[in-house]
């Protein structure tokens, strides 16, 4: 995992003129602070740092990778893919590279995609990176969005394993009718960014992330339990089999609602939204890294990951963990 050093607390937001309080934000989201990149730091910078850590942790040389897959909605450029920047920087000279855009569901989509390549026999070792720097697209005067997001990256190496280990099942879904629930209107071919974008006040607003918080919340509390149950059923498992639930870190109320729905004790739910906010595609791999560091991940554990976000998209992976961190 990799996080920028700059911490912005809720009190800092208030001091900078935002009409809010620490108590108001914590009550509604559970967020107390978030990490924010400076102007010189791009998504690839965080992704490269996380990738090098993941390779060292796995004991794998970058030259042995078959693919670098980067899940991001905030790549360094419109093109080329940020995965290509990572591939060159880490020395993965034999690997293909591409980006996958599924917003906050990106890491679950990436794990599912990598699993398919490995299970088919096409590839053996794949680096999956989740990275986003959404704070670069925020209007820091918009209380409905700027309090929610932070920047970060997480990475994992996937490789072939024994039957009934590793990724046991995946579920991916989308509903394009929710396109405008969370979106960045300008910057693509529908609304290119040009000189007029920055001279017209309405167009300038389109260059910032926009979200209907109520729509997203209602979508999440409905889709999260449905998707987790579907993924467990595909793996012939039940909610009582879950050893660790690692969800997208968007809102503490959504996390606690899912844990309560499945009777999961809070010590089996990974929570870091209070410290990092919503880091989009990075939130699940960051949470997995912290779970390992804190001794919550053990060989043989049934781990369920669940992501949801813009698109609207959602995804879940059921994993039988294949290594012990010796903590």
In the structure encoding, which two tokens stand for residue 41, read together? 């730091």
Catalytic residue flag (residue 256): no
Q: 282 vs 31, 74, 214, 249, CA distance in Å?
A: 16, 11, 23, 9
Helices marked H in 9-121: 10-15, 22-29, 43-58, 82-90, 106-120
Catalytic residue flag (residue 205): no
Catalytic residue flag (residue 278): yes
Query: Which residue, 46, 158, 151, is CA-closest to 110?
Result: 158
Listed in sequence order, the residues at least 6 apart from 174 whose beta carbon sits closer than 8 Å to its beta carbon are 311, 312, 313, 314
Please state whether beta strands 96-100 and 125-133 pair in parallel, antiparallel, or not at all (unpaired). unpaired
In the structure encoding, which two tokens stand for residue 27, read together? 């009550």
Select which of 70, 248, 251, 317 is catalytic: 248
Select which of 104, 108, 137, 251 is catalytic: 104
- How far apart are alpha carbons 288 and 274 in whole angstroms? 16
Select which of 10, 251, 278, 317 is catalytic: 278
Angle at 322 between CA 129 and CA 289, to 5 degrees: 40
In the structure encoding, which two tokens stand for residue 147, read together? 């309090």
Active-site positions read 104, 248, 278
């Amino acid at each position: 995992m990799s996080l920028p050093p700059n911490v912005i607390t809720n009190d800092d937001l208030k001091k900078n003129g935002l009409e809010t309080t620490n108590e108001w934000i914590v009550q509604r989201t559970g967020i107390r602070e978030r990490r924010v990149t400076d102007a010189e730091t791009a998504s690839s910078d965080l992704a490269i740092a996380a990738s090098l850590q993941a390779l060292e942790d796995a004991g794998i040389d970058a030259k042995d990778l078959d693919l670098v897959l980067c899940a991001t909605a905030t790549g360094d450029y419109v093109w080329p893919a940020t995965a290509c920047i990572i591939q060159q920087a880490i020395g993965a000279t034999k690997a293909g590279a591409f980006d996958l855009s599924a917003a906050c569901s990106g890491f679950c989509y990436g794990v599912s995609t990598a699993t398919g390549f490995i299970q088919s026999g096409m590839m053996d070792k794949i680096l999956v990176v989740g990275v986003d720097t959404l704070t670069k697209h925020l209007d820091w005067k918009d209380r409905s969005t700027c309090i929610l997001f932070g920047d970060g990256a997480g990475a994992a190496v996937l490789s072939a394993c024994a039957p009934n280990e590793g990724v046991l099942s995946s579920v991916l879904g989308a509903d394009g009718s929710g396109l405008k629930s969370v979106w960045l209107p300008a910057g693509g071919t529908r609304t290119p960014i040009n000189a007029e974008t920055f001279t017209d006040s309405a167009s300038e607003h389109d260059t910032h992330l926009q979200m209907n918080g109520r729509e997203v919340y209602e979508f999440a509390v409905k889709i999260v339990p449905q998707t987790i149950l579907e993924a467990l059923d595909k793996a012939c498992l039940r909610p009582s089999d879950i050893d660790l639930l690692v969800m997208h870190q968007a809102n503490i109320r959504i996390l606690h609602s899912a844990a309560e729905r499945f009777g999961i004790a809070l010590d089996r739910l990974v929570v870091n939204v209070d410290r990092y906010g919503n880091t989009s595609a990075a939130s699940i791999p960051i949470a997995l890294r912290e779970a390992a560091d804190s001794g919550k991940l053990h060989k043989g554990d049934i781990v369920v990951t669940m992501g949801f976000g813009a698109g609207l998209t959602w995804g879940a992976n059921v994993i039988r963990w294949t290594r012990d961190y010796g903590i």
